Amino acid sequence: MAQAASIPPGAQPACAAETDARAAARKRRDAVADEAKRSFLRMASHELRTPLNSILGFSEILQSELYGPLGAPQYKEYAGIIHTSGARLLKLVNQVLEIARLEGGAMDFDLRPESLDHALDDVLDGLREEIALRNVAVLIENRGALPVALADARGLRNLLGNLVQNAAIFSPEGGVVRVRAERIGDWVELAVIDRGPGVDPEDIPRLLRPFEQGENALTRRSEGAGLGLPIVELLCTAMGGRLKLSSAPGEGLTARVRLPAA
């Protein structure tokens, strides 16, 4: 009776070697694809942002009449319109690139202990003019004693900025946006609450899909492309957390974020 050929010590069966080779080849292809995504995003970021920054800069010079009067007052008004439109377009470009990076796994996160007090201070400084323009107050409960989360510094500020801005946009005139945070076991839970028109609970999943436009009050009033909340959800996931939305018509919207505690 014939005996099966023995396999020398340290050697692998042919099928196992082929499997390892295929896995290595797939890993190399994935690495090449990831680098191609990163290269494309770097190129797109530069090629889109550079002309937009020029438009913003020169329109601001014209609007301020830095080098002398423009003549007809309409020119100054038009320069202001160009600047406002350019700023909105730049924001959209930044959001689209952010979505592409997050969905493509092309962002590197450095998770470190981050103070929510410091992060919220930075966010409110950046949104000061917009919040004042909308005549909305942002009330942070227990300010100065908020917990510390394990998060990426830029990602955390982006996440908080989108949530606060979204709440301010849909708050009524003279309304209040409430922000509260507490440590619950191994987690930090943060809530951003507005008293805007709210949405039907059945519409909430749509608000987390990029570019989703619906017939509810929330999406109709939005000035953007519906990317703020999807970005928040992707950032939460990337930093090991989660996002939960709750709302009802006429009762505003509450966004709850859970991140690992430091």
* Domain boundary residue, one of 59, 84, 103: 103
For residue 241, being part of any structural domain is answered with yes
For residue 150, being part of any structural domain is answered with yes
Specify whether 116 is located in the same domain as 234: yes
Specify whether 75 is located in the same domain as 133: no
Higher pLDDT, 123 or 203: 123
Least confident of 15-29, 50-64, 187-201: 15-29
* Domain boundary residue, one of 74, 103, 132: 103
3-class secondary structure for 70-134? CCCHHHHHHHHHHHHHHHHHHHHHHHHHHHHHHHCCCCCCCEEEEEHHHHHHHHHHHHHHHHHHC
Specify whether 219 is located in the same domain as 144: yes
Specify whether 75 is located in the same domain as 142: no
Return all residues near 106 (Cβ < 8 A) that are at least 6 apart: 34, 37, 38, 41, 100
Specify whether 79 is located in the same domain as 128: no
pLDDT at 223 over 50: yes
Specify whether 183 is located in the same domain as 123: yes
How far apart, in whole angstroms, are the C-alpha atoms of residue 36 and residue 38? 5
- pLDDT tens across 124-162, in order? 999 998 899 889 999 999 999 999 999 999 999 999 999
**How many separate domains does the chain show?**
2
Specify whether 239 is located in the same domain as 159: yes
What is the percent of the chain with per-residue pLDDT over 90, rounded to a whole number?
48
Specify whether 216 is located in the same domain as 162: yes
Specify whether 118 is located in the same domain as 197: yes
Angle at 108 between CA 103 and CA 109, to 5 degrees: 105
For residue 4, being part of any structural domain is answered with no
User: 93 lies in which domain range?
Assistant: 14-103
CB 91 within 8 A of CB 223: no
pLDDT band at 57 (very low <50, low <70, confident <90, very high): very high
For residue 31, being part of any structural domain is answered with yes
* Domain boundary residue, one of 53, 84, 103: 103
Specify whether 135 is located in the same domain as 59: no
Distances, alpha carbon 100 to alpha carbons 37, 40, 110, 171, 244, in Å: 9, 10, 19, 29, 22
What integer best gives the mean pLDDT of the chain?
84
The predicted model gives 2-21 an average pLDDT of: 62
